[in-house]
């Protein structure tokens, strides 16, 4: 009676794990579904019908020392995203390329809050500019990891031994073939925007937003059939979505 109960329990566990294996989907469908998560998603800005003032987006600062993040995202990437989104919100953008080598000096003066340095720049290039806008990454770090899985080898061996003979061998092979694994990691990214007066570099407005990104993978194998899938919103995609949140706030409160 005990033997039959143990065998039934082993088989039931194997069936339960089998039931956790997702329905078969083509590799192409899985890859495209994952890629869709990372595609650009436009935002509707509530004051987009109202023209905003002329502004210059200057590269901000990335204050995280995480090498994985700084290899993927740069201040210029974020400034590019900022120009795109502020333009979509109907602000008038003075292209950074139009400033030439002056841009680095302006960025340095703004980031240092040096009013005297700002006065030395010729006003002809941006005499009608009202604001400088910059986006700083204050936080970029992985904060959590988790893994879990199932390997049917141990249960298969027990069931095979209890049943014995050819039936035990088949049972052992079937249950031992069941393997599943899952891993996930979560990043938190925090971004601050600053709006500064173009004449004095004094702060006009600021705001801060955080978002999280999960990087994960799943794999399963049963009786020779295997399946794996990953899910990931890239770090630069997350940075771009944080820029959208910042621009939404600027558009809603300060236009």
Residue 92's domain is classified under what CATH number?
A: 3.40.50.10610
Residue pLDDT, tens place only, 105-118: 777 777 776 666 66
Least confident window among 19-28, 77-86, 241-250: 19-28
Query: What token pair was written down for 38?
Result: 């990372």
If you compute the radius of gyration of the chain from its CA atoms, what whole number of angstroms results?
A: 28
Count of C-beta atoms within a 10 Å radius of residue 181: 15
Within a domain: residue 125?
Answer: yes
Distance from C-alpha of 129 to C-alpha of 56, rounded to nearest angstrom? 7
Q: Is 205 left (phi over 0), alpha (psi -120 to 50) or beta?
A: beta
Q: Is the dihedral of CA 19, 23, 28, 33 positive or negative?
A: negative
Residue 18, pLDDT > 90, answer: no
Q: Are 243 and 135 in contact (CB under 8 A)?
A: yes
Is 174 among the domain residues? no
Task: Kindly indicate the confidence band of residue 144, based on its pLDDT and cuts at 50, 70 and 90.
Answer: low
Q: Is residue 250 part of a domain?
A: yes
Q: How far apart are CA 127 and CA 17, in angstroms?
A: 68
- 159: nearest Cα among 147, 144, 174: 174
Q: Is residue 100 part of a domain?
A: yes
Residue 173 in any domain: the answer is no
pLDDT of residue 65: 87
59 versus 125: the higher-pLDDT residue is: 59
- Residue ranges making up the domain that contains 206: 23-150+179-254
6 falls within a domain = no
Looking at 67-226, list the stretches that DSSP marks H as alpha helix, in order from N- to C-terminal side: 67-72, 75-88, 102-112, 115-119, 153-163, 165-176
pLDDT in tens, 87-97: 999 999 988 87
Kindly state the percentage of the chain with pLDDT values over 90: 34
Mean pLDDT within 100-108: 77
Q: Is the pLDDT of residue 43 over 70?
A: yes
Identify whether 117 is part of a domain: yes
For the chain, the domain total comes to 1
Of 196, 236, 201, 206, which Cα lies nearest the Cα of 78? Answer: 236
Q: How far is CA 29 from the centre of its chain?
A: 21
Of these ranges, 82-91, 103-112, 126-135, the one predicted with the greatest mean pLDDT is 82-91
Q: SS3 of 222, please?
A: strand
| Residue 76 lies inside a defined structural domain of this protein | yes
- Nearest residue to 12 (alpha-carbon basis) of 178, 228, 221: 178
Q: How far is CA 230 from CA 13, 28, 48, 59, 192, in A?
A: 25, 13, 36, 32, 30
Can you say how many angstroms the Cα of residue 217 is from the centroid of all Cα atoms in its chain?
Answer: 15
Residue 68 pLDDT > 60, yes or no?
yes
Mean pLDDT of 149-162: 55
Confidence (pLDDT) at 205: 95
- Give helix 153-163 / helix 165-176 axis angle, nearest 10°: 170
């Amino acid at each position: 009676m005990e033997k039959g109960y143990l065998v039934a329990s082993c088989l039931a566990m194997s069936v339960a794990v089998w039931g956790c294996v997702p329905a078969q989907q083509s590799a192409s469908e899985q890859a495209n579904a994952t890629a869709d998560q990372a595609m650009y998603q436009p935002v509707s800005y509530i004051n987009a019908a109202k023209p905003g003032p002329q502004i210059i987006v200057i590269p901000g600062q990335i204050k995280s020392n995480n090498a994985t993040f700084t290899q993927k995202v740069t201040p210029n990437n974020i400034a590019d995203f900022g120009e795109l989104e502020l333009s979509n919100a109907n602000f008038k953008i003075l292209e950074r390329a139009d400033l030439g080598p002056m841009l680095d000096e302006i960025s340095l003066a703004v980031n240092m809050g040096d009013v005297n340095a700002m006065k030395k720049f010729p006003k002809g290039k941006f005499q009608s500019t009202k604001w400088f806008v910059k986006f700083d990454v204050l936080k970029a770090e992985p904060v959590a990891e988790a893994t879990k899985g199932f390997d049917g080898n141990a249960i298969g061996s027990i069931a095979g031994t209890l049943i014995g003979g050819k039936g035990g061998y088949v049972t052992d092979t079937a249950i031992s073939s069941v393997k599943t694994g899952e891993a996930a990691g979560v990043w938190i990214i925090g971004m601050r925007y600053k709006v500064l007066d173009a004449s004095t570099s004094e702060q006009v407005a600021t705001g801060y937003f955080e978002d999280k990104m999960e990087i994960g993978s799943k794999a399963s194998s049963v009786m020779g059939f295997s399946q794996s899938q990953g899910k990931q919103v890239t770090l630069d995609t997350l940075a771009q979505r944080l820029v959208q949140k910042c621009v939404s706030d600027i558009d809603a409160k300060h236009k």
